[in-house]
Amino acid sequence: MLCAHPATVADHFPSSRRQLIAAGVADPDAPERLRALCSPCHNRETAKRQPGGWAAERRSARESGQS
């Protein structure tokens, strides 16, 4: 799908930043691990790959009494 909006967000792709860090990647923000997206497309892609948002895991742990 093509988008007519200007790209304003650097999206980690194909792995999320969290996955890259967990895998021990030295530089998860290296240009070859990023793609440019507009904000609505970035939000849609993030929602597909990280249901509940980037903080859902932390929020879930807090609510269950784990830190």
Is the residue at 39 inside a domain? yes
52 torsion bin: left (phi>0), alpha (psi -120 to 50), beta (else) = left
Q: What is the pLDDT of residues 19-46, one digit of tens each?
A: 999 999 999 999 999 999 999 999 888 8
Is the residue at 58 inside a domain? yes
- Residue 15's domain comprises 10-63
Average pLDDT, the chain: 83
Q: Decide if pLDDT at 57 tops 90.
A: no
Is the residue at 23 inside a domain? yes
* CA 44 to chain CA mean position, Å: 10
Our count of domains for the chain comes to 1
Is the residue at 1 inside a domain? no
Is the residue at 55 inside a domain? yes
Is the residue at 16 inside a domain? yes
